[in-house]
Amino acid sequence: MTVKTNVILNHNEINHKIRRIAFQIYESNVNEKEVVLAGIDKNGYVFAKKLKTVLQKISDITPVLCKVSIDKKHPWQEVKTSIKEEEYKNKSIVLVDDVLNSGTTLIYGVKHFLNVPLKQFKTAVLVNRNHKKYPVKADFKGISLSTSLHEHIDVVLEGRVFSAVLE
């Protein structure tokens, strides 16, 4: 049996989405000096690094990168961040991931940051799959896609060619 794959975003489209989302983040934080880009480890963090690069080019906001480590099989266990609470307290945060599927990873990521007062909290994803089981939404999204539960989206954001493929 062959697995059918469909490219939903090619390299140029992904770069365009990254740039557009960076502009949206800038617009919603135009009066801020700093914004924390909290990327969920692996692809969410890579996506956050790319957003940081574009934000530095288009604005005078200082983007602060934060790696968020969540056990995706046991997301209720301790969430770890690469920066201390004091470094994001009373700041604007954007929680970044590559794909929003059920919302489980994103909601537990949000929960972690709510231990301290924040100025603003937003979420950004490259692909929104619309299979939510938690009340979490993507404030900034590259593409919304209705998929079946047995399908998988593979996002490649490293190397020479980026892609998002539906398998």
> Do the beta carbons of residue 83 and residue 50 sit within 8 Å?
no
- pLDDT for 120: 96
Residue that has been written with the tokens 């004091």 in this structure? 86
- pLDDT for 4: 53
| φ/ψ (deg, to 5) at 43 | -65, -35
State pTM to two decimals. Answer: 0.92
pLDDT in single tens digits along all 167 residues of the chain? 445 568 999 999 999 999 999 999 999 999 999 999 999 999 999 999 999 999 999 999 999 999 999 998 888 899 999 999 999 999 999 999 999 988 899 999 999 999 999 999 999 999 998 777 888 899 999 999 887 777 888 899 988 899 999 88
- pLDDT for 18: 97
- What is the SS3 assignment for 144? strand
